[in-house]
Structure 1
Amino acid sequence: MGFYFKKLDGQKLLLEKAHVIVAHTIILHRIVGKDIHSVLWLDKTCVNAGESVEKCWTDDTPNSSGHQPTGRGSRLIVAHAGSSNGFVPEGLLVFPSRKTGDYHEDMDHPRFLQWFKHLLLQFSIPTVFVMNNSPCHSMILDKTPTTSDHKGTMVQWLQARDIAVDMSMTKLLYSLVKQNKPVTPKYTCKIASKQGHLITGLLPSHCHFNPIELVWSEVKAYIRSNNKTFTIIEVERLLREGLVIVDPNSWEKKVDHVAELIREAHTIDSIINENEQLMISLGDDDEVEDNGFGADSDDSEGELDGTAPLTS
Structure 2
Amino acid sequence: MNRSVIRSSAREIIYKVYKRCLAESEAGQYLSDLNDVYKRTAEMTGKSVSTIRRIALEGQRNKGVFSTPGKHRAGRPRKDLDDFDLCAIRQKIQFFYTVKKIAPTLRNLLPVVREDLQFSGSREHLRKVLIKLGFKYRKCQSDRQALMEKPNIAAKREVYLEKIIENRNLPDDLRKDIIYLDESYVHTSYKLKKCWQSIDIHGIKENVSKGKRYIIIHAGSENGFVPNALLIFSGKNKNEDYHSEMNKNNFTKWVTEKLIPNVPKPSIIVMDNAPYHSVVRNKAPTSASKVSEIKLWLSENNIPFSDTTRKPNLLMLVKQHKPEPIYEIDDLLNRHGHTVVRLPPYHCDLNPIELVWGIAKQKIASHNVGSVDIKAVAEQAFQSISTNDWRNSCQHVMKIEREYYERGRTLYDDIERIIINLQDESSSTESSEDSQQTVDEDSPQNSDEDCSGVEYLDESIFDSD
The two structures share one fold, judged by TM-score above 0.5? yes
Q: Match of 2:357, as an amino acid?
A: W
| Cα pair 1:146 1:174 within 8 Å, conserved | no
DSSP-derived class of the 2:262 partner: coil
1:279-294 correspondence to structure 2 within 5 Å:
283=434, 284-287=436-439, 289-290=441-442
Match of 2:379 in 1: 240
| Cα pair 1:41 1:210 within 8 Å, conserved | yes
| Cα pair 1:154 1:177 within 8 Å, conserved | no
Q: Match of 2:368, as an amino acid?
A: N
Deviation at 1:252, TM superposition (A): 0.5
Q: Match of 1:267, as an amino acid?
A: E
Deviation per CA, 1:257-291: give whole Å up to 9, x if none: 11111111111014434437889997444455128
1:202-213 correspondence to structure 2 within 5 Å:
202-213=343-354
Change (3 A) 1:72 1:172: same
Distance 1:31 1:69 in 2: 43
Match of 2:118 in 1: 7
Deviation at 1:148, TM superposition (A): 3.3
Match of 1:259 in 2: 398
1:97 equivalent in alignment to 2:235: yes
1:223 equivalent in alignment to 2:364: yes
Deviation per CA, 1:68-120: give whole Å up to 9, x if none: 21111111111100011110011112211122311101110111112123312
Deviation at 1:187, TM superposition (A): 1.7
DSSP-derived class of the 2:167 partner: coil
Q: Match of 2:224, as an amino acid?
A: G
DSSP-derived class of the 2:363 partner: helix
DSSP-derived class of the 1:76 partner: strand
Deviation per CA, 1:220-257: give whole Å up to 9, x if none: 111111112456xx111111111011111111011111
DSSP-derived class of the 1:64 partner: coil
The TM-score normalised by the length of structure 2 is 0.52
The TM-score normalised by the length of structure 1 is 0.76
Worse-matched range after superposition: 88-97 or 124-133: 124-133
Q: Match of 2:332, as an amino acid?
A: I
Distance 2:301 2:396 in 1: 54
Deviation at 1:218, TM superposition (A): 0.8
| Cα pair 1:204 1:288 within 8 Å, conserved | no
- Between Structure 1 and Structure 2, how many residues are aligned? 281
Q: Which runs of 5+ in 1 are unaligned?
A: 164-168, 293-312
Deviation at 1:205, TM superposition (A): 2.2
Q: Match of 1:22, as an amino acid?
A: A
Match of 1:68 in 2: 206
DSSP-derived class of the 1:91 partner: coil
DSSP-derived class of the 1:34 partner: helix
- Which of residues 324, 328, 331 is equivalent to 1:188? 328
1:143 equivalent in alignment to 2:283: yes
Distance 1:162 1:213 in 2: 41
Q: Which runs of 5+ in 2 are unaligned?
A: 1-99, 101-111, 121-125, 134-146, 170-175, 421-430, 445-465
Deviation at 1:62, TM superposition (A): 6.8
| Cα pair 2:271 2:341 within 8 Å, conserved | yes
Distance 1:160 1:117 in 2: 34
Distance 1:131 1:277 in 2: 35
Name whichever structure is richer in helix by fraction: 2
Distance 1:278 1:17 in 2: 19
Distance 2:291 2:268 in 1: 41
Match of 1:307 in 2: none
- Which of residues 246, 267, 285 is equivalent to 1:107? 246
Change (3 A) 1:74 1:155: same
DSSP-derived class of the 1:215 partner: helix
Distance 1:153 1:239 in 2: 52
Change (3 A) 1:224 1:128: same
| Cα pair 1:20 1:288 within 8 Å, conserved | no
Match of 2:217 in 1: 79
1:120 equivalent in alignment to 2:260: yes
DSSP-derived class of the 1:228 partner: coil
Distance 1:153 1:82 in 2: 46
Distance 1:230 1:254 in 2: 32
DSSP-derived class of the 1:71 partner: coil
Deviation at 1:183, TM superposition (A): 2.6
Distance 1:51 1:153 in 2: 53
Larger RCO (CA within 8 A; separation ≥ 6) = 1
Deviation at 1:133, TM superposition (A): 1.3
Percentage identity across aligned positions?
A: 27
1:37-48 correspondence to structure 2 within 5 Å:
38-48=177-187
Q: Match of 1:67, as an amino acid?
A: K
Change (3 A) 1:175 1:185: farther
Q: How big is the alpha-carbon RMSD for the aligned residues of Structure 1 and Structure 2?
A: 3.6
Distance 1:285 1:25 in 2: 25
Distance 2:374 2:299 in 1: 48
DSSP-derived class of the 1:217 partner: helix
| Cα pair 1:51 1:230 within 8 Å, conserved | no
1:198 equivalent in alignment to 2:339: yes
